[in-house]
Amino acid sequence: MSVVIPDNIVYSTRMTEKELLQEIAILLYQKEKLSMGQASKLARMNQWPFQLLLGSRQIPVHYDVTEFESDLNTLREMGRIK
């Protein structure tokens, strides 16, 4: 699905298209409607710069126990931890 935002709406925000997408992505991430990967993709940014953008606005990164355990398993599989 594609969403089309009319040019006059984008113009009235006084933001570029990229800035508007970033704002939408940040809002949906804050409301826990999008994951980090989904939100950074919507914002057309890599995850690290998106995390820095969140940090610059003092928005905490959502990171729960399940994600932590998944990261630990990945590190174990890579042989980085035992």
Can you give the pLDDT of all 82 residues of the chain as single tens digits?
A: 888 999 999 999 999 999 999 999 999 999 999 988 899 999 999 999 999 999 999 999 887 788 788 778 888 888 878 7
Q: Is position 63 within any domain?
A: yes
Q: Is position 15 within any domain?
A: yes
Q: Is position 71 within any domain?
A: yes
pTM: 0.74
Q: Is position 57 within any domain?
A: yes
Packing angle, helices 47-56 and 17-30, rounded to 10: 80
User: Alpha-carbon dihedral of residues 33, 70, 54, 26, nearest 10 degrees?
Assistant: -20
Q: Is position 21 within any domain?
A: yes
Rounded Cα distance, 46 and 38, in Å: 10
Q: Is position 1 within any domain?
A: no
Look up the domain containing 30 and give its range.
7-77
Q: Is position 2 within any domain?
A: no
Total structural domains within the chain: 1
Q: Is position 30 within any domain?
A: yes
